[in-house]
Every structure is written in C-alpha cells, then in structure tokens.
Amino acid sequence: MKRLCIYLLLTSMLLAACNKSPVIDDVTMLDGNQIFDASLNHPENYLASSYLANPTENQLNTPVIIASHGYSASTFEWDELRVFADKNKGFYVSQVLLGGHGRTYQEFKDATWKDWQQSIKDEYEKLSKMGFKKIYLAGSSTSGALLLNLIKSNFFSSYTKPKGIFLIDPIVLPSNKSLTMIGLLGPVLGFTTSELEEGEKGYWYVYRPQESLKQLLAVIDLTRRDLEDGFSLPQDTYLKVYKSIKDETAEPVSALLIYKGLKTSKGANIDVEMVESNLHVFTRLKGRSNVSSTDEALQLKTFTEMRNKMLE
C-alpha cells in the first residue's frame, strides 16, 4: 500500500510538472493577448507586397529585400535596416513576421518550423508573381536555417531566382547545448524563460514553450545534416554569411558548417565574414542597453555592404 502511494505521488508530481504554464503579463509581454507584432495590423508598413501593391516598372526593377527574424523575435529585429533603406534609398525592405510569432503564447506553442517558414515563402511568391526582378533575402539567426532549407528544397526553382542572400548570425548549432536535451527535459520543464532588456520587452517572447524549442532543434538539426550532405545555391544567386565570433545563442562554428556544405551553382565557395562582435544578430542594436561605437560602425558597414551588393 505504501509503495502504491509513493508511486501515485510520483506520477501526479510528474503530470503536474508536464502541464506547466507560464504566468503571462498581458500588458507588458508579447506572449499575452494584448501586444501583437505591428505588422499583423499594419502590413502596409512592413510587407513590400502590401505597400507596393501596384508597382511601377521602375519599382519592379528596384531591389527588394525580404528580411526575416530569429526564433522568438519579431519584425522589430530588422527595423533598423528599414530605417537605413528609407534614408539611403536604392532598395525596398519587406519585413516578414515568421508564422506563429508576434501573437499569443499559445499560437507560438502550436506552430511548427514549417509554419514559421511559410511567411517567407508567401512573401517571396507574391513578390515574384508581381514581377519584382531583383529579390534579395536577409535572414537572422533561425531564419538562416529556414532560408538554407528553402535553398535545399529547391523552393526557388518555381519563381524568380533570388539575386542574393545575406545570413546574419545563422544558427546551425546552438551555443546553449542544453537545447539538445529538450526531448528529455522539455516535458518536465514545460517552458524556459528568457531575460529581456528593457528595450526588448514587448518585441520578444519571454517564455519559450518546450514544443517550439523542439521545433527549433528539429530545423537546425535538419539543416546540419543537409549541409553534411552538401547542396548548391540557385544559379547566379550570391550568398554571404556574417557571423559574430562570440555568440551565446548561435555557435560561431555554424558559419564553418555552412561554408563547407553550401556551394555556388558553379561549385565555388560562398562568402563568409567572421566579425569581431559578441552580440547575437549584431545588426540589431535597437533595444540593447550597452551599444558601443564599434557595434554601430559594424552595423553601418554591414548595411552599406548589403546595399552596395544590391545596387551592383
């Protein structure tokens, strides 16, 4: 009888642990049901397919770059590129919100990595069908893996080929290796909590459900295995990886895996630049409290280089 009681107690404790839900502050957290990514209500301020719904011939010949953010982030991550484009002209920015992101915790929890990726595919398809001739892509962190998967799966073969792809701190291997144990620890933990700086609140999820962490691990693990087998870029598509040499989120060695596994259509090496930074997604400075002049210079240099490439 005593043994049975202990067994029941342990089982109920385990079940209780498995049903953990975070306490969400709707007023301040993106996880809640009051704050949503601004692109959901005002796509005309973010998506080129919306704000250039009836493009002129001149606009169709102007480069447009689809910029997509990382896991648990939002369109906020590429706001500074849009500001740079507005100031310097010459290209359009289309800020894509990944599927399942920028909404409630439950929607984030329920989304798969293919849902995340679908938003990029939708915007690319629209711009291609509208007749844009110079489409570029920029992906930060997890979007790096999502874009590599699009290349590997030949998604672009049905559309206008992308002119170029820029990956900022793409993740193929996680820096925090406890992610590899999410299958074992996830059901017990339920979710993990991330520490946000004051300026980041409302733009990133505070809570990361174990279901979505499993999706993150699934997509980066698939990408790693695809890179081990090797694959090529679409014909005449340029790609450059920018990778911080110290990064507590995306292992810097991710850049090497991409360099070894991805070649141009002619079999040449892709471009990689290992940058002197300890920031994850070093092109996003907005919302951070400690930004140095070196960080600002690096951001400007990278945006300028991306713009120059698009205007070649």
Q: How far is the CB of 53 from other proteins (least distance, A)?
A: 42
Q: How far is the CB of 19 from other proteins (least distance, A)?
A: 26
Question: Which C-beta is closer to other proteins: that of 201 or that of 263?
Answer: 263
Give yes or no for residue 256 binding other proteins (CB under 8 A): yes
Give yes or no for residue 264 binding other proteins (CB under 8 A): no
d(CA 102, CA 29): 10
Give yes or no for residue 228 binding other proteins (CB under 8 A): yes
Q: Nearest Cα to 223, choosing from 292, 294, 144?
A: 144
Give yes or no for residue 287 binding other proteins (CB under 8 A): no
Q: How far is the CB of 21 from other proteins (least distance, A)?
A: 27
Give yes or no for residue 42 binding other proteins (CB under 8 A): no
Give yes or no for residue 102 binding other proteins (CB under 8 A): no
Question: Which C-beta is closer to other proteins: that of 200 or that of 226?
Answer: 226
Give yes or no for residue 212 binding other proteins (CB under 8 A): no
Q: How far is the CB of 71 from other proteins (least distance, A)?
A: 15
Q: How far is the CB of 257 from other proteins (least distance, A)?
A: 7
d(CA 58, CA 311): 14
Q: How far is the CB of 176 from other proteins (least distance, A)?
A: 7
Question: Which C-beta is closer to other proteins: that of 127 or that of 173?
Answer: 173
By rule CB under 8 A, what string of x and - marks binding of each residue 157-176 to other proteins?
----------------x-xx
Give yes or no for residue 260 binding other proteins (CB under 8 A): yes
Instruction: Answer for the pair 243, 170: CB distance below 8 angstroms, yes or no.
Output: yes
Query: Which of 248, 265, 291, 292 touches other proteins by CB under 8 A?
Result: 248
Q: How many residues bind other proteins (CB under 8 A)?
A: 33
Classify residue 218 as exposed, middle or buried by CB count within 10 Å of its CB (0-12, 13-18, 19+): middle
Q: How far is the CB of 115 from other proteins (least distance, A)?
A: 22
Give yes or no for residue 252 binding other proteins (CB under 8 A): yes
d(CA 12, CA 24): 24
Q: How far is the CB of 219 from other proteins (least distance, A)?
A: 12
d(CA 101, CA 212): 11
- CA-CA-CA-CA torsion sign (135, 141, 147, 151): positive
Q: In what order do the strands lie in the sheet with 92-96?
A: 92-96, 64-68, 135-140, 164-168, 238-244, 271-275
Query: Which of 81, 247, 282, 306 touches other proteins by CB under 8 A?
Result: 247
Question: Which C-beta is closer to other proteins: that of 79 or that of 247?
Answer: 247
Please report, as ranges, the residues that interact with other proteins according to CB under 8 A. Answer: 173, 175-178, 180-181, 217, 221, 224, 227-230, 245-257, 259-261, 272, 274, 278
